[in-house]
C-alpha cells in the first residue's frame, strides 16, 4: 500500500501544472476555524485521473481511466470508484454538453470491475449518475425525437428545426463485469402538455397542470438538459436539476415502469407526474420573471438525514441570466412536504417556498460567479463544501459564510464530494482496520460543579497503529483529540463541568491512518454543587464562613462556582442569615446546608 501511495504522489508531481496545494493559513486551514475532517474527491474534466485529497491538499489516492469524466464520480462504500466516462463517437448526441455514454466502476488497484454503456443513435447517457442503496444506479440520458414526432406531440414548429432530445432516467441493475438490466425508467415524453395546437397530442391548459411539462416552454435541441440526479430513500423519490427550465423537479421512484409512464400509481398515487417543482414558476404559468429563483443551476439534492438542515434541498445556483450583476449562489430551501412525502400546492399558485432559508454568496457577489458547472454539499459540522466548477476552486464555508478551507486545482470540475474518515469506503480503500471499541470511561460517577475530574480508557488497534482518543463530556463539549497513544496504552482526559446535571461520557478512537472506532458505552456522571462550600475547596468549614463574611461585608468575590451555593438556608437570597446558618451547623450542631440550594439554580 505504501508503495502504491508513493507512486500516486510521484504521478501527481508529473502534473503539477494542473493540481495545486491547498491554500490558506497554516497548511490549508484558516484562523477562523477548522474544516470538517475528511477526504475530498474530484474528477478534473480534461483529464482521465480522479483524485482523493486530504484537508492539507495532499493527494492520498487516485484512479486512472482510459476516458475523461462526463461528468460525475463517487466513492462507493466498498472503496471502489463509480464514475461517468466520455465514450465519444455517438452519431446523434456527441455535440451535447455533458455527453457521456459510459459508466465504470474501478477498484482500489485500478481494475475496471464493472462497465455499462448506453449509447446509440437513439439515446445517450449524460452528466450525472446516482448509486442507490440496493446497488443499482440511476442514470440521466437523452432520447432522440424527430421533428415530426415533436410537432405531433404539440411542439411549436418554430422551436424545432432538426430534432429534439428530451431526457429520461434509467435505473440499471449491474450484471457481471459489464452490462446491466434496465429495471425502471422514467421519461419526460410521457408527461407533456401544450396549449399551442388543439389538433395535436397533449393539448390542455398548462396553468391547470403543474404536474406536467410544457413542451413549448424552452427552445433548443437539448430541451431539458437535466444535469444532476439525487435520491431520497425516505420518500423513494428522485430530484432532477433541469438546467434549461431553471427548475428542480421531484418525481416518484416507487412506481413500476408502467406506472412511471402514466399519471397514477406509486406512493404518491400520481404515477410519473411531477410531484414538486421549484425555481421558475413561469415554466407552468404560475408566475413572472420576478418570481424566478434559479438561473441555470446545477447539483440539486436533499441534505442527508442527521445533517444540519436534513431534508432541505441544496442547489448550486449558477446565476446565468440573473437580473443585474452576474453572480453565483448556493441556495437552501425548505420544501413544502409532509412526513409522507406529499407536497403542498395552493391551486393556481406557485410551489413554495417563496424564499430560500439560507443563501451563500461572496461578500462582493460578483467575486463568485460560475457560468457553468458547480456543486454544493452540506457537511456534518453544518458547513457547506462548494465547487466553483469552471475555475476549479473548492472551498468550505460556515453557516455565517466565512471561508475556512480552500483548494485550487484551476481545472474545470463538475462537482466535488467530501467523505468523513469513518466512511466505509475509505477503510476498504486504504486497507486499514479500525481500532477496537474503546472501554467505557473509568472515573468518578458523581461530583461537583467547578471541580476537575479525570477519566481513563483504552483500546487496541488490530495493526498496532498509534491511537488518538476523543472524550465527549455530554455537555456539548469534548476533549479534542488526545494522543497519540500506543495500542493498548491507557489514555486519560479531564473535564470540569459548569452546571449541575447527569451527563453521559463516551469516547471514540481513531488510528494514525484516520480509521475510526465505534463509540464506547457511556458512563453516567451526576454533577451537583456542595451547598455551603462557597470557596469551592471541596469541604464546608470555617474558611467558608470567612469567605461569606468577606463577600457580604468587605467586597470579596461571590460564592463559587455559583452564587447559589451560599444560600445554605434555601431562601433564594445570600445574606447574613446564611452566615448564621453555617456557624450553627459547624459549631452548634445545627442542620446541614440544604442540598437543594442550587436546584434549580435561582441565580447565576
What is the tens place of the pLDDT at every residue in 12-25?
333 333 343 443 32
d(CA 337, CA 343): 4
Cα angle 429, 490, 503 (rounded to 5 degrees) comes to 90
Question: 533 and 586 in contact (C-beta within 8 Å)?
Answer: no
Q: Give just the sign of the alpha carbon dihedral 16, 18, 19, 24.
A: positive
Nearest to 460 by CA among 443, 436, 444, 478: 436
Residue 382 has which C-alpha cell? 453544518
Tell me the pTM. Answer: 0.71
Residue 34, classed as helix, strand or coil, is coil
- What per-residue confidence (pLDDT) applies to 34? 83
Could you write out the three-class secondary structure of 38-68?
Answer: CEEEECECCCCEEEEECCCCCEEEEEECCCC
Instruction: For the chain, give the number of residues.
Output: 604
Cα angle 76, 77, 80 (rounded to 5 degrees) comes to 45
Residue 228 has φ and ψ, to the nearest 5°, of -155, 155
d(CA 53, CA 74): 14
Question: 496 and 451 in contact (C-beta within 8 Å)?
Answer: yes
Residue 585 has which C-alpha cell? 451547623
Nearest to 166 by CA among 148, 139, 138, 145: 145
d(CA 91, CA 231): 31
pLDDT along the chain (604 residues), means of 10: 32 35 35 80 96 92 95 94 96 94 93 95 98 97 98 96 96 92 98 97 97 95 97 98 98 98 97 98 96 98 96 98 95 97 95 97 96 96 97 96 94 96 84 87 92 96 91 94 96 93 93 84 91 87 93 90 84 90 90 77 49
Residue 544 has which C-alpha cell? 467558608
d(CA 1, CA 12): 17
Give one DSSP letter per residue of 292-304, joined into a string. ---SS-EEEEEPP
Give one DSSP letter per residue of 410-441, joined into a string. -S-BS--EEE-TT-HHHHHHHT-PPPPPPPPP
Question: 431 and 1 in contact (C-beta within 8 Å)?
Answer: yes
- What per-residue confidence (pLDDT) applies to 375? 98
Cα angle 316, 322, 325 (rounded to 5 degrees) comes to 105
- What per-residue confidence (pLDDT) applies to 367? 95
- Kindly calculate the radius of gyration of the chain based on its CA atoms and give it in whole angstroms: 31
DSSP bridge partners of 469: 482, 509
Question: 355 and 282 in contact (C-beta within 8 Å)?
Answer: no
Would you give the DSSP letter of residue 584? H
Residue 321 has φ and ψ, to the nearest 5°, of 90, 5
Set out the domains of the chain in order of their start, with CATH numbers: 446-528 (2.60.40.10), 530-604 (1.10.1330.10)
Question: 186 and 250 in contact (C-beta within 8 Å)?
Answer: no
What is the tens place of the pLDDT at every residue in 72-115?
999 999 899 999 999 999 999 999 999 999 999 999 889 999 99
d(CA 66, CA 112): 10
Question: 583 and 546 in contact (C-beta within 8 Å)?
Answer: no
499 burial type by CB count under 10 A (0-12 exposed, 13-18 middle, 19+ buried): middle
Strands (E), 111-246: 112-117, 123-131, 137-143, 145-146, 163-164, 167-174, 180-187, 192-193, 213-214, 226-232, 237-242
Residue spans of alpha helices (H) in 133-288 = 147-152, 257-260
Amino acid at each position: 500500500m505504501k508503495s502504491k501511495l508513493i507512486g500516486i504522489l510521484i504521478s501527481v508531481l508529473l502534473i503539477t501544472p494542473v493540481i495545486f496545494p491547498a491554500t490558506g493559513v497554516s497548511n490549508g486551514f484558516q484562523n477562523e476555524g477548522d474544516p470538517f475532517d475528511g477526504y475530498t474527491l474530484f474528477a478534473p474534466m480534461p483529464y482521465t485521473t480522479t483524485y482523493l485529497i486530504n484537508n492539507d491538499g495532499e493527494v492520498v489516492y487516485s484512479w486512472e481511466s482510459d476516458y475523461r469524466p462526463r461528468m460525475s464520480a463517487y466513492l462507493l462504500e466498498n472503496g471502489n470508484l463509480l464514475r461517468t466516462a466520455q465514450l465519444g463517437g455517438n452519431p446523434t448526441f456527441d455535440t451535447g454538453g455533458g455527453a457521456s455514454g459510459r459508466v465504470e466502476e474501478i477498484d482500489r488497484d485500478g481494475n475496471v470491475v464493472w462497465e455499462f454503456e448506453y449509447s446509440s443513435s437513439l439515446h445517450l447517457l449524460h452528466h450525472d449518475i446516482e448509486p442507490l442503496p440496493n446497488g443499482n444506479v440511476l442514470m440521466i440520458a437523452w432520447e432522440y425525437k424527430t421533428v415530426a414526432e415533436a410537432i405531433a406531440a404539440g411542439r411549436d414548429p418554430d422551436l424545432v428545426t432538426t430534432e429534439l432530445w428530451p431526457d429520461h432516467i434509467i435505473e440499471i441493475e449491474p450484471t457481471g463485469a459489464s452490462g446491466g438490466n434496465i429495471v425502471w425508467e422514467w421519461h419526460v415524453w410521457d408527461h407533456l402538455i401544450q396549449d399551442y395546437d388543439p389538433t395535436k397530442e397533449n393539448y390542455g391548459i398548462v396553468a391547470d397542470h403543474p404536474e406536467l411539462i410544457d413542451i413549448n416552454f424552452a427552445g433548443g435541441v437539448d430541451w431539458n438538459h437535466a444535469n444532476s440526479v439525487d435520491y431520497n430513500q425516505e420518500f423513494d423519490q428522485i430530484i432532477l436539476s433541469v438546467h434549461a427550465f431553471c427548475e428542480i423537479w421531484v418525481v416518484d421512484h416507487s412506481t413500476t415502469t408502467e406506472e412511471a409512464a402514466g399519471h397514477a400509481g406509486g406512493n404518491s398515487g400520481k404515477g410519473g407526474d411531477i410531484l414538486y417543482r421549484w425555481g421558475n414558476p413561469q415554466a407552468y404559468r404560475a408566475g413572472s420573471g420576478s418570481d424566478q429563483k434559479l438561473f441555470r443551476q446545477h447539483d440539486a439534492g436533499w441534505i442527508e438525514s442527521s445533517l444540519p438542515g436534513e431534508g432541505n434541498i441544496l442547489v448550486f445556483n449558477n446565476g446565468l441570466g440573473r437580473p443585474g450583476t452576474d453572480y453565483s449562489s448556493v441556495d437552501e430551501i425548505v420544501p413544502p412536504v409532509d412526513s409522507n412525502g406529499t407536497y403542498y400546492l395552493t391551486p393556481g399558485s406557485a410551489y413554495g417556498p417563496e424564499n430560500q432559508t439560507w443563501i451563500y454568496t461572496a461578500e462582493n457577489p460578483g467575486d463568485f460567479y460560475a457560468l457553468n458547472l458547480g456543486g454544493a454539499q452540506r457537511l456534518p459540522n453544518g458547513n457547506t463544501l462548494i465547487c466553483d466548477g469552471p475555475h476549479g476552486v473548492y472551498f468550505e464555508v460556515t453557516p455565517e459564510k466565512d471561508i475556512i478551507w480552500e483548494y485550487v486545482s484551476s481545472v474545470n470540475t463538475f462537482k466535488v464530494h467530501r467523505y468523513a474518515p469513518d466512511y466505509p469506503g475509505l477503510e476498504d480503500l486504504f486497507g486499514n482496520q479500525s481500532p477496537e471499541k474503546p472501554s467505557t470511561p473509568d472515573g468518578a460517577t458523581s461530583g461537583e460543579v467547578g471541580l476537575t475530574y479525570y477519566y481513563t480508557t483504552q483500546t487496541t488497534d488490530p495493526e498496532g497503529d498509534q491511537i488518538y482518543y476523543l472524550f465527549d463530556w455530554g455537555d456539548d463539549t469534548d476533549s479534542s483529540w488526545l494522543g497519540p497513544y500506543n495500542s493498548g496504552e491507557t489514555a486519560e482526559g479531564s473535564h470540569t463541568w459548569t452546571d449541575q446535571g447527569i451527563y453521559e461520557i463516551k469516547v471514540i478512537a481513531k488510528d494514525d491512518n484516520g480509521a475510526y472506532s465505534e463509540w464506547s458505552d457511556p458512563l453516567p456522571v451526576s454533577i451537583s454543587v456542595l451547598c455551603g462550600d462557597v470557596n469551592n475547596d471541596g469541604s464546608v468549614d470555617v474558611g467558608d464562613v470567612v469567605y461569606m463574611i468577606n463577600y457580604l461585608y468587605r467586597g470579596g468575590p461571590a460564592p463559587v462556582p455559583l452564587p447559589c451555593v451560599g444560600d445554605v438556608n434555601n431562601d433564594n437570597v445570600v445574606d447574613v442569615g446564611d452566615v448564621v446558618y453555617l456557624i450553627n451547623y459547624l459549631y452548634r450542631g445545627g442542620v446541614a446546608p440544604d442540598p437543594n440550594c442550587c436546584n434549580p439554580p435561582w441565580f447565576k
